[in-house]
Amino acid sequence: MLSFAVTHTDGAARRGILTLPHGRVDTPQFMPVGTAGSVRAIAPDDLERVGAQMVLGNTYHLLLRPGPELVAEMGGLHRFMSWPRPILTDSGGFQVYSLAEQRKISEEGALFRSHLDGSQHLLTPERAVEVQQKLGPDILMCFDECPPANASRAEHEEAVARTTRWAMRCHAEWKKDPKGSLFGIVQGGLQRDLRERHAAEIAALEFEGNALGGFSVGEHPEQMWDGVAHAGPLLPRGKPRYLMGVGTPEDLLRCVLNGIDLFDCVLPTRVARNGLLFTRQGRLQIKAARYAKDQRPADAECRCYTCTTFTRAYLRHLFNAQELLAFRLNSLHNLAFYMDLMTGMRAAIETGTAQTYADAALEAFRRGPD
């Protein structure tokens, strides 16, 4: 169901081809987040237009509504959301971190109180696999415990041990009807020895791919980059490596250099809805008064629909007037920027210039737009 080949390397950076039931994914690759079966403000043809090859859906949110049974009845998530390319579903493990005040963890699983209506839902490793298989993704994730960065060492040790036990239960449940490719998740926070131990435990379970969880959960960016530089190469070399929930353009560039193949994050679309545009010259706050009469595109080097059609002045007007079109155009541009960033990184790895490409992009990004 899954094949993965590394075609080029440049230091620790890898250029690869991931083949899944719904198509090919060129790595390194960024996955737009479609939490509830939709990338916010973006239609599937928009995703195709910006070059997205794979999207992410979230088990917790789709469990609450419309429910996995309904999605399965509608032909699975691909057909339900009219997205023909690969889909990866998160197991709901991130909600163990983000909904800390609304859940209780036990060996059995995580008992959540819905943020929608207060109803209780028990998400066990077995249930997480069952729900994901009903959704029908190409890749599904093990259920894990994700503690915050500032958790104590004892809490991280407990999370590592429980995540391994849960991974074994996920694997056993998946083997009953092995639909989709199951990935394991490595925890351990910023504790290097815990990362090493857990990477070995998860690798021994022989999942078809592996992920790093527990980054970008409150630590400083430099700490995260250092942690990924250590933990990335611990994951099996011949299988896809996925860094969950990360991140900024700087994060992507630095972590590709340390061997990461797949990324996801809500950031590019979330900040787009708040008027922040990523450009090759840095972050552009489109609501700023200085753009009121600016006839330039947001990014002169960008070939997306937003930049080839509209001026900064118009984008500023839309955002300040809170026109819904602002959300779509800003999101289109930010996703196109991320896709172009990864396209450039893949080409640089092929020519052995990954570090040079990343350094130039980071330097231009630091200068900021005029």
Residues tagged active-site: 90, 264
Parallel, antiparallel, or unpaired: how do β-strands 241-243 and 120-123 relate?
unpaired
Report the distance separating Cα 209 and Cα 250, nearest Å.
24
Q: Which residues of 4-23 are buried (b: 16+ CB within 10 A; e: fewer)?
A: bebebbbeebbbbebebbbe
**Is 241 within 8 Å of 210 (Cβ atoms)?**
yes
Rg from Cα positions in the chain: 20
The one-letter amino acid code at 105 reads: I
Report the distance separating Cα 142 and Cα 166, nearest Å.
8
Report the distance separating Cα 231 and Cα 238, nearest Å.
15
User: What is the DSSP secondary-structure string of 242-261?
Assistant: EETTB--HHHHHHHHTTT--
Taking every pair of Cα atoms in the chain, the longest distance, rounded to a whole number of angstroms, is: 62
Q: Reply yes or no: is the peptide bond before residue 16 cis, omega within 30 of 0.
A: no
Instruction: Please give the helix or strand (H or E) that residue 277 lies within, else none.
Output: strand 276-279
Hey, how many other C-beta atoms are within 10 angstroms of the C-beta on 344?
17
First to last CA, the chain: 48
Report the distance separating Cα 310 and Cα 319, nearest Å.
13
In the chain, the DSSP E strands lie at 3-10, 13-20, 23-27, 29-32, 55-58, 87-90, 103-105, 110-113, 120-123, 139-141, 181-186, 209-212, 241-243, 262-265, 276-279, 282-285
**Is 27 within 8 Å of 262 (Cβ atoms)?**
yes
The crossing angle, in degrees rounded to 10, of helices 324-350 and 312-320 is 130
DSSP 8-class letter at 33: B
Report the distance separating Cα 178 and Cα 180, nearest Å.
6
Cα three-residue angle 241-247-252, rounded to 5 degrees: 60
